[in-house]
Structure 1
Amino acid sequence: MNKNDTALLSILVQDGRASFADIARQLNISRAHARARVKALVDDGVIEKFTAVINPEKLGKVISTFIDLKVVPQHIESVAEELAAKQEVVSLYIMTDLRSLHIHTLTDNYEAFDQFAKNYLFGREEIISVECGSLLKRVKHRRGGARL
C-alpha cells in the first residue's frame, strides 16, 4: 500500500458509494487507475466489503448496551458463537485473556434488553460473571472502518 491507497481508503470510508471519477478527481489520478486500485484492494482483502451504515435510532433501537462476560475458558467459543447469532448482538469480541467476551447489543427498550439477558446470559453454568452498562452519550465513534 502506498500514500494514494491510504487516501483512497479514507475516501471510501467516508463514502462507500464514491464513484471512480470522484476518487480519481480527489487523488488527481485517472479513473482507470482508481478502478484498478480499488479492485486490487478488494482482491488483496484490504477492502472486505462495501456496506451501508445504519442509524439504529431511526429503526427504534435506542438502547445501546455493552456487556463484559467472563466465561469458563472451555466454553468461550461456543458461547461466543451462540450469542453472535442473536439479533440483539451487533458486535462480539473474544478478548486476549481467552475467557472474556465484550459484546455490544442494540434493543428497542430496557425491557427487551432485560429479556435478552434473562434468556441468554443469566443462570448459565458456563458464564462466570456479567457486567454491563448502557450508552449515555456518544462522544467519538468509528463509522465505516479504521481511520488511516
Structure 2
Amino acid sequence: MNRLDTEIIGLLIKDGRLAYAEIARQLGVTRAHVRDRVQALLDGGSIEQFTAVIDPEKLGKSVSAFLDIKASPNAIEEVAQALADQPEVISLYIMSDMKSLHVHTLTDSSDSLLDFASRQIYGRAGIVSVECQTLLKRIKNRVGGPRL
C-alpha cells in the first residue's frame, strides 16, 4: 500500500459515499486512477466493505454492554461461534490469553440484556466466568462506529 492508497482510505473512512471524482479532485489524480486503486484495495482485502455508521439509540438499542467471558480453552471456539451467531452480539474477539472473549452487545433494555444472558451465557458448557459492564456515555467511537 502506498501513500495514495492511504490517503484514499483516509477520505473513505471519513465519508464512504465520496464520489471517485471528488476523491480524485482532492488528491490531484484522475477519477479512473482512484477507481482502479479502490478496486485494488477491495480485491486485496484492505477495504473489507463500505458501511453506514448508525446511532444505536436512534434504532432503539439503548443498552450497550461489554462482557468479558472466561471459557475453558478447549471450548473457546465453540462458545465464541455460538455467541457470535446471536443478533445481540455486534462484536466478539478471542483475546491473547486464549481463554477470554471480549463481547459487545446492543439490546433495547436491561431486561433484554438479562434475557440474552439467561439464554446464551448462564449454564452454557465451557463458560467459566463472566464480567459485564454497561456503557454510561459514548465519547468516541472506533472508526466505522458500532455495527449492528
- Class of the TM-score when normalised by the shorter of the 2 chains: over 0.9
- Contact 1:92-1:102 within 8 A present in 2 as well: yes
Structure 2 equivalent of residue 93 of structure 1: 93
Measure, in 1, the Cα distance between the counterparts of 2:127 and 2:142: 30
Aligned to 1:126: 126
Q: SS of 1:41's equivalent?
A: helix
2: CA distance between counterparts of 1:83 and 1:57? 22
Query: Could you list the runs of 4 or more consecutive aligned residues of structure 1 that deviate by over 6 angstroms after TM superposition?
Result: none
For residues 85-113 of structure 1, give each alpha carbon's deviation from its aligned partner in whole angstroms, at most 9, with x where no partner exists.
00100000000111100000000000000
Deviates more, 1:84-93 or 1:39-48: 39-48
> How far is 1:143 from its partner?
2.8
Structure 2, unpaired ranges of 5+: none
More off after superposition, 47-56 vs 87-96: 47-56
Task: Tell me, yes or no, if structure 1 residue 60 matches structure 2 residue 21.
Answer: no
Do the aligned residues in 2 keep the contact of 1:53 with 1:143 (CA within 8 Å)?
A: no
> How far apart are 1:2 and its partner, in Å?
1.4
Alignment partners' CA distance in 2, 1:15 and 1:91 = 22
Trace 1:23-34 onto structure 2 (pairs within 5 A).
Answer: 23-34=23-34
CA distance in 2, matches of 1:23, 1:133: 41
Partner-residue secondary structure (3-state), 1:143: coil
Determine the structure 2 residue equivalent to 1:6: 6
TM-score, length basis structure 1: 0.94
Q: CA deviation at 1:3?
A: 1.3
Partner of 2:80 in structure 1?
80
Give 2:144's aligned residue.
144
Quote the residue 1:70 is aligned against.
Answer: 70
SS at match of 2:137: coil
SS of structure 2 residue aligned to 1:32: helix
Q: Output the TM-score relative to the length of structure 2.
A: 0.94
- Could you tell me which runs of 5 or more consecutive residues in structure 1 were left unpaired when the two chains were aligned: none
Superposed CA RMSD in Å reads 1.1
